[in-house]
Structure 1
Amino acid sequence: MPKRQSDIFSFLNVKKVKTDTENEMNENHCGAWKPTEPTFESVEQPLIEEKPSCSSKEEIDNLVLPDCWNKKQAFLFTEQYKWLEIREGKLGCKDCSTVQHLGMRAEKHVHVSKEWIAYLVTPNGSNKITRQASLRKKMREHDVSKAHNKIQDLLKESPSSDSVSNFVPKPNNKNMDATVKVFNTVYSLVKCNRPLSDIEGVIELQEEKGVDIGSCLHTRYSATRIAEHIAKEIKMKVFKNIIEENAKICIIVDETSAISKKSTLVIYLQCAVQSAPSPVMLFVALKELVLTTAECIFSTLLSALNDCGFHNEYLKANLIAFCSDGADTVLGRRSGVGMKLLENFPKIIIWHCLNHRLQLSLDDSISEIERVNHFKMFLDKTYSIYHQSNKNQTELEAIAKDLELEIIKIGRVLGPRWAACSLRVATAVWRSYPELYRNFSHSSSYSGLAKRLANISFLQDLALMIDILEEFSLLSTALQSGSTNIQKAQKLIKRTIRALENLKICAGKYESQIEDMIKSDKFKDIPFNKNNKLNTLPRNMLLDHIIQHMNLRLLLERNNDESVLSYFDLLEPSAWPHEELISPWIAGERKLSHLSEILKYEIDLNDFRDFVDNNVKSNNAPIPVTIQKAKKIVSSIAVSSAEAERGFGLMNIICTRVRSSLKVDHISDFMTINFLGKELADWDATPFVKSWLNCNHRLATDTRVRKKSTKGFYENQLALWNLP
C-alpha cells in the first residue's frame, strides 16, 4: 500500500452517520433511469476494448465473486471502474475506503457511503438478471455521486504523504489546547467510571479556576460522542497493529442478560504478540442479540470481528481456537456456534473449559438425576428470612459473620442456584451448623428449617457437596493461573476426574467427619434423625453425572484421529520418549507438518532438529526462533475466563441506577476505553483531537455555539454566606 494511503488509514476515521445519499441520477429523478450498459447475455463484444493484464486475471481467479457474476464480468467491471474492489462476494470502493470522510469539504446531505467503505454492497433481486442489473445500477450511481467525486478530487490534490493536512485546515494552538482539555476531561470521567453528565460540573469548576476550555462540547451529548470517537480510534489503532503483525488469535465469547432486556454477547480475543512476553487478552465488543440461536450468535460474532478489521481472509489464516462455556447454543456438538466456526474456519481448536461454569455442574447433575437440591431450597428460605428486616440480619451476623456476608451476596450478585454451588457458602453453613439449628429451633415460625438441619441426610448431602466443590475449587484456581496452557488444563481436568472417581470408592474429607461431629459437644443438642421425606442424594449416580460433565470439557478429538495435544507435545521436551529418541526424530518430524497446520504457522525443520539435538544433550539449551513463536501461539489458546469475568464486574460498575439509560453500544465504548486505553498519565489526547477534526466535528472554541450561563446560588443560600 502506498505511504500516502497508509497515512490516511492511520489518521482518518469514518463518521458513522447516514449512508451516502447518492441520489444524483444521470437522467430523470422519477425512478425512470435505466443503466446504459447492456446485459452480458445480449452482448458479444466486451464493453472495454483494453484487455485486463495477466496479473489482474490471477487476482480475479483467487477472489470470491458475487453469485450473479462470472470471471469475465468481474474483469470488465474492474477495468471500467478503477475504484472497484471485490471481497468475499461483495463490492467496495478502494478510494472511499482510503479517505472515508470528506472532512471540512463535506456538504449538507452529502456523505460517503459506509457500505462502499466497508465492502458490503450486495445485489438485490430474486433471479440472476435482476441481480446483475442491481449491481450495475449501484456501481453507476456511486460512480457519479458527489461524495465519490469529491473523494477522487481530494486524492488527486494530495499526492504527498502529508495528505491529511490538505483535507482539514490546521486550527491554531489555542483552539487545539481547549479541545484537548475537553477530551482529557471526558477520558478521565470514563476511566473513573463516572456518568458523563458530570462533565458540566467538572468544566464549570475548571472555568472557575481560570482554565480556558472554550464554550462548546460541554454537554453530556457531546461527551458521549467524544467517548464513542475515542473508543473507535483506540480499536482502530490496537487491532490494526495486531493485523499488521499477522498475530494468531483465539476468540472468547460469553452471554449476559444483565444490561439489556435481550441477551448480550461479550466478545474477547487472546493473541500472541511478539513484543509481549505472554498472551494478551483484549476486549472486542458488546453486541446485543436479536435471537439467541446459534445462527444469530455466529453472524453477530463475525460482524463484530469484521468491524474491527478481522475479515474472513484474516480469520482463515490466523484464527486457531474458540473458547466459551458449555451452553448447547454456543458449543453444541452438532449445530452450535463452535461447529459453525469449525465449518467456516477448519482445524480450529474448540475449547469449553471455562472455569466459572464448573461449579454449576453440581446443580445440573442433581437436576439430571431428578432429585431436589435441598441445600438450594434451604439457602433460598434462609435468604428470605434474613432479608425481611434488619433485626433478622443482625441476628444472623451474631450467629455467623461469614454466613451473613454470603447470604447478602445471594441477593446482590449470585442467586440461589449459584449460591448452592459456592464452596464459601457451603463451608459457612458447615461451620455455623449448631448455631443455625439453635436459632431456628427457638422459633415456631422456623421449625421447618430446624427439622431440615436435624435430618442426618441433609448433613450427609452437605458434606458430599463440599467435597465435590473443593475439587472444583482446586481446578478453578489452577486454570486461572497465567502459566496454564491447554496441555496443562487437559491434565488438570483429567486429574479432577480421577479425584471424583476416588470419591465413589471411599468417603471424602468432610463425609468422614460426620460421625465424629455428631458425637461432639457442639452437636449434642441436635436430635439427628432419619426423615423419609428428605432422602439423601444417590451418591454414585450423582458422581457419575458430574464425571460425564467433566469429560465434556475435555478437548474434542476429530474423527477419532490422534489427539491434538499429542502434536503440542512436540514442543514439550518433557513429553518426549527420551529413551528411544535418536536424532533426527523421524516420528516427531512426521507430526511436525500437522502441527504447523493446526497453529497455521510454518515451523522450520532445521530449527526443530536443533531443538531436539539441544534438549537431548542439555535441558538449558537455547530455543530456536520458530519454536519460540510456536510455543507462544500454543499459549494463546485460552483455557480460562478469569480475564473475561473482569468484564462482567466492570459492566456492573458502569450500569448503575444513575446510568440506567445507557445503551449497549455506549457500555461497549466505555469498556473499550477502560480495558484498551492507556492510563491517564500516559494518554495523549492530541491525535484523537486531530482525527475528531478530520471527521468535521466542532472545536471546543466554536463561536457558533452559545455559552451556557453559569449556575448561580439561590438568594437564600447567598444570604447565608453574606451573614456578618
Structure 2
Amino acid sequence: MGDPGSEIMECVPPAGPEASESTPEENEDGIQFASILFPKMPKRQGDLLHFLNAKKVKTDTESSNRKKNYCVLSKSKESNFKYVEQPIIEEKPSCSSKEEMDNLVLPDCWNEKQALMFTEQYKWLEIKEGKLGCKDCSKVRHLGLKAEKHVHVSEEWIVYLVTPNGSNKTTRQASLRKKIREHDVSKAHGKIQDLLKESINDSVSNLVHKQNNKNIDATVKVFNTVYSLIKHNRPLSDIEGAIELQEKNGEVNCLNTRYSATRIAEHIAKEMKMTIFKNIIEENAKICIIIDEASTVSKKRTLMIYLQCTVQSTPAPIMLFVALKELASTTAECIFNTLLSTLNDCGFTNEYLKANLIAFCSDGANTVLGRKSGVATKLLENFPEIIIWNCLNHRLHLSLDDSISEIKQVNHLKIFLNKIYSNYHQSNKSQNKLLENVAKDLEIEIVKIGRIMGPRWAACSLQAATAVWCAHPVLYMHFSHSHSGLAKRLSNINFLQDLALMIDILEEFSLLSTALQSSSTNIQKAQKLIKRTIKSLENFKIGSGKHESQIEGLIKSDKFKDIPFKKNNKFNALPRNMLLENIIQHMNLRLLSDRKHDESIFNYFNLLEPSTWPYEEITSPWITAKKIVSTIAVNSAEAERGFNVMNIICTRVRNSLTVGHISDLMTISLLGKELADWDATPFVKSWSNCNQQHVAIKRLK
C-alpha cells in the first residue's frame, strides 16, 4: 500500500478558517475531489467553464443516477467509521454517511475530504472525538500465542488516543501520515490482521477463547514445573534445565528464566494465602498468633509468624504459616509493628483482631514477653482480652536448667562432656584418634555437643548421654592411654550414678517434650502430661530409675570387668533428692501456673473438658467454647519447624534469596498440597486476569 502523502498534497487542500465560505479555490477543490469519486469522467477538461456549463445542462435522469451512485459510494465510505464486534460484517446500504460525517469530530489539521480519503485507503482507521484509532487492534487487543519479543499492540491505537504532533498544520498533517503508515506496516498490526483472517469461519470471541485455552494449557505445565521445584526445595534456577528437557520432548514452549519462575512463585504464594485467609475471615474464626525470631544464612534477623485457628470444616485447630518478615531491629516496638502490619496485609484488620484474636504464644525471650515494654505488653494494650502464653517446651527446658544451676556440688557429667567438646570439637587429629576406638554414631554425638545443661540441653544431650552410657568401657580404654583425667572420671562410681540418674530424668523430659509438640495437644492435655511427668519424678525419690537399677549389674558384667570402679571422695555424687525436688518445684512453677492468671486459668479450661460434662445437659455453645479454647497454642514448636524449612530452602548456595522470596517459597512448601493433588488452573487464570505476561510466550534471551 503506497504512501498517501503525495496524493493528499495534490488532491486535498488543507482545511482552515476560510473553509466555511465558498471561494473559487474551494470550487476547484470540489471539482478535483469529484474527479476522485467518479473515475469514469474525463481526467482532463479543456475549459473549466465548458465543464461547468456541461454539468448544468445534464438531464434530470443523469443527475438522479449520479446522486444514486454517490449515495451508494458514500455509504461504502461511511461503513469505515462504524465500530464492529466481528471481523466480517455484512453492511446494509445507508445514505446517512454525509450527516454522520458532518457530526464527526475530526483532527484539527484535517477536513472532511482528507478523513474520507484516509479511511478509504486504510480500512482499519477510525476517528473518535478528534483522535485516531485502529478498530482491528481495539477488537483483538492482545496477540496471545502469536506474540514475540518486542512485539506488542500499541495501547494508543487500541483506545483511540493517537493525536498529531507539531506547531503548524503542515507538520501536524505529516505527523499523522507518519503514524498511520508506521502502524499499518507494523508487525503487531500484521499479526492482528492474520488473527482476523483466521476468524472468518469463527467469531473473534471464540477464537480468543481457544487461544486462551491454549495459553492456559501451556502455562499450567510451567506452573506445575515451578511448583514441583519448590516442593522438592530445588533452586528456581533449575527451571531452565527442566523446561529445556520438556521442550526437547515436545511438551511445552515457554519462558525458561529464573526471573519468570520467581514471579510465578510469588503469584502462587499470594493467591494461596489470599484464598486461605479469606475463608478464615468469612467464617469469623477465632485465631491465635505464634511468633519466633531467628537469623537467616545471610545473618538477617527475621520474624516467623504462624496462625492457629478453628474453622467449621475441621474438628481440630489448624496451624498455618503466615509469613517470614525481615526485622529492621530486634526491639519490641519493631517486632510489634512488623507483626501488626503483616496481619493487616493478610486481611486481618484491627477490628477483626479485637473481636477474634484470643491468644498470643511465643518463647520466653525478654523482648517478646517483657513485662514493661515487651511485645506481649504492647499486644495487651491494643487487645486487652487476649491470653499471653509462653511456649511450654521452652518452659520445660528452663525448669531443668534452673534446677541444675541451683545445685552447688560439682556436676561431673557436665564437666566431662565439656572437656570432650573442647578436646575433640576443633581438632581433626583428636577426632580421628577417637574414631579409631569409638563407634561412628558415638563420635558424631560427642563432636556435636555444644552448651551443656542449657535451655535446650534436655533435647540435645539425651542421645549423647545415652551414647556415653553404651560406650562407657570403650571410652575408658581410649582415655586411659591419652587422657588419664577423663579415664579417672569414668572409673568413678559417682560419675556412673550421676550419668544413670540424668539419663532417667532426660528420658522423662524427652517424652514430655515430644508429646507437647504434638499438634493435637491443647491446654488440658498438656496439663495432664505435665502432671504425669511430675508424678514419675516423684516416684524416682522413692525408688530407682531404669538406668540406676542397672548399675550394680553392669559393674559385675564382663563388659565392665576391666574398669577399676571406686568411689573418689574428691568427686562427690549429685545430691539426688535435692535435684529431683528442685526439678519438680520448677516444673510446678513454670508449667502449671501463669504469671497473670495464676493456676485459676486451668480451672476455667477444665470446665470445657468432656470428662467433666453431664452429657444430658450438653448444649452446642459448650462445644463451640471447647473448640475456641483448643485454638490457644501451648507451644511454638511449629515455628521451630518453620525455621527448619527455612534452613533447607536458604542454603549457602542460595543465600542470595531475599526474605520475601524465602517467605513465598515457605508458603508453598508448608501450605501447598502435594503435586499430584494440586490444580494449577485457578492460579493460571488469576495470573492472566492480573494482566501479567503469559508464561507461554517465547522469551528470547
Sort the TM-score into its range (normalised by shorter chain): 0.5 to 0.7
Partners of 1:526 and 1:695 lie apart in 2 by: 76
What SS is found at the alignment partner of 1:693?
A: helix
2:241 to 172, 178, 201: 201
Identify if the C-alpha distance between structure 1 residues 457 and 329 changes in structure 2 by more than 3 Å, giving closer, same or farther: farther
Taking only the aligned residue pairs, the percentage that are identical comes to 72
Equivalence for 1:711 = none
TM-score normalized by structure 2? Answer: 0.63
1:403 to 421, 442, 448: 442
Identify if the C-alpha distance between structure 1 residues 209 and 531 changes in structure 2 by more than 3 Å, giving closer, same or farther: same
Equivalence for 1:255 = 293
Partners of 1:368 and 1:669 lie apart in 2 by: 45
Identify if the C-alpha distance between structure 1 residues 430 and 502 changes in structure 2 by more than 3 Å, giving closer, same or farther: same
Please say if 1:378 is aligned against 2:378.
no
8 A Cα contact 1:359 1:469, kept in partner: no
What SS is found at the alignment partner of 1:340?
A: helix
- Which stretch has the larger CA shift, 174-183 or 658-667? 174-183
Partners of 1:246 and 1:427 lie apart in 2 by: 49
Please say if 1:614 is aligned against 2:616.
yes
8 A Cα contact 2:424 2:430, kept in partner: no
Please say if 1:546 is aligned against 2:546.
no
What SS is found at the alignment partner of 2:252?
A: coil
Bigger Cα Rg: 2
8 A Cα contact 2:523 2:634, kept in partner: yes
Partners of 2:385 and 2:584 lie apart in 1 by: 27
1:459 to 470, 492, 496: 496
Partners of 2:436 and 2:356 lie apart in 1 by: 54
Equivalence for 2:366 = 328
Identify if the C-alpha distance between structure 1 residues 342 and 536 changes in structure 2 by more than 3 Å, giving closer, same or farther: farther
Partners of 2:430 and 2:354 lie apart in 1 by: 61
Identify if the C-alpha distance between structure 1 residues 536 and 262 changes in structure 2 by more than 3 Å, giving closer, same or farther: farther
Partners of 1:408 and 1:105 lie apart in 2 by: 66
Could you tell me how far 1:285 is from its partner in structure 2? Answer: 1.2
Could you tell me how far 1:512 is from its partner in structure 2? Answer: 4.5
Equivalence for 1:80 = none
Partners of 1:671 and 1:496 lie apart in 2 by: 35
Where does 1:250-649 land on structure 2 (aligned, <5 Å)?
250-355=288-393, 358-359=396-397, 361-367=399-405, 369=407, 374-382=412-420, 385=424, 388-389=427-428, 392=431, 396=435, 399-400=438-439, 402-407=441-446, 410=449, 418=457, 421-441=460-480, 443-444=481-482, 446-504=483-541, 507-530=544-567, 534-550=571-587, 551-556=589-594, 558=596, 563-575=600-612, 612=614, 614=616, 624-649=619-644
CA-to-aligned-CA distance 1:505-543 (integer Å, 9 cap, x gap): 655443444445444443332233455665544445544
Could you tell me how far 1:224 is from its partner in structure 2? Answer: 1.4
- Which stretch has the larger CA shift, 278-287 or 398-407? 398-407
Identify if the C-alpha distance between structure 1 residues 386 and 340 changes in structure 2 by more than 3 Å, giving closer, same or farther: closer
How many residues are matched?
Answer: 495
Q: Could you tell me which amino acid in structure 1 is paired with residue 259 of structure 2?
A: Y
Partners of 2:155 and 2:564 lie apart in 1 by: 84
8 A Cα contact 2:401 2:454, kept in partner: no
1:175 to 201, 212, 215: 215
What SS is found at the alignment partner of 1:234?
A: helix
Partners of 1:659 and 1:274 lie apart in 2 by: 40
Equivalence for 2:671 = 676
Partners of 2:631 and 2:291 lie apart in 1 by: 15
- Which stretch has the larger CA shift, 202-211 or 534-543? 534-543
Unaligned runs of at least 5 residues, structure 1: 1-103, 108-165, 577-611, 616-622, 709-724
Identify if the C-alpha distance between structure 1 residues 213 and 407 changes in structure 2 by more than 3 Å, giving closer, same or farther: farther
Identify if the C-alpha distance between structure 1 residues 693 and 426 changes in structure 2 by more than 3 Å, giving closer, same or farther: same
Partners of 1:175 and 1:482 lie apart in 2 by: 42
CA-to-aligned-CA distance 1:673-703 (integer Å, 9 cap, x gap): 0111222123222332333334442123446
Identify if the C-alpha distance between structure 1 residues 575 and 176 changes in structure 2 by more than 3 Å, giving closer, same or farther: closer
Where does 1:1-80 land on structure 2 (aligned, <5 Å)?
none
Equivalence for 1:220 = 258
Identify if the C-alpha distance between structure 1 residues 391 and 382 changes in structure 2 by more than 3 Å, giving closer, same or farther: closer
- Which stretch has the larger CA shift, 221-230 or 373-382? 373-382
Partners of 1:353 and 1:399 lie apart in 2 by: 38
Partners of 1:552 and 1:283 lie apart in 2 by: 28
Identify if the C-alpha distance between structure 1 residues 533 and 228 changes in structure 2 by more than 3 Å, giving closer, same or farther: farther
Partners of 2:597 and 2:252 lie apart in 1 by: 68
Could you tell me how far 1:272 is from its partner in structure 2? Answer: 0.6
Unaligned runs of at least 5 residues, structure 2: 1-152, 157-204
Q: Which has the higher helix share?
A: 2
Equivalence for 2:56 = none
1:236 to 251, 256, 274: 274
Partners of 1:350 and 1:368 lie apart in 2 by: 28
Partners of 1:228 and 1:251 lie apart in 2 by: 24
8 A Cα contact 1:332 1:339, kept in partner: yes
Identify if the C-alpha distance between structure 1 residues 538 and 573 changes in structure 2 by more than 3 Å, giving closer, same or farther: same
What SS is found at the alignment partner of 1:250?
A: strand
Could you tell me how far 1:497 is from its partner in structure 2? Answer: 3.2
Equivalence for 1:21 = none
Partners of 1:440 and 1:279 lie apart in 2 by: 53
Partners of 1:232 and 1:625 lie apart in 2 by: 36
- Which stretch has the larger CA shift, 232-241 or 674-683? 674-683
When the two chains are superposed, the root-mean-square deviation of aligned CA atoms in Å is: 3.6
8 A Cα contact 2:409 2:572, kept in partner: no
8 A Cα contact 1:356 1:476, kept in partner: no
Could you tell me how far 1:317 is from its partner in structure 2? Answer: 1.0
CA-to-aligned-CA distance 1:107-136 (integer Å, 9 cap, x gap): 9xxxxxxxxxxxxxxxxxxxxxxxxxxxxx
Could you tell me how far 1:490 is from its partner in structure 2? Answer: 1.7
CA-to-aligned-CA distance 1:547-593 (integer Å, 9 cap, x gap): 45422233426466x812322333335336xxxxxxxxxxxxxxxxx
2:284 to 232, 236, 246: 246
Relative contact order (C-alpha < 8 Å, sep 6+): which is higher? 1
Identify if the C-alpha distance between structure 1 residues 336 and 106 changes in structure 2 by more than 3 Å, giving closer, same or farther: farther
Partners of 2:640 and 2:240 lie apart in 1 by: 33
Q: Could you tell me which amino acid in structure 1 is paired with residue 284 of structure 2?
A: N
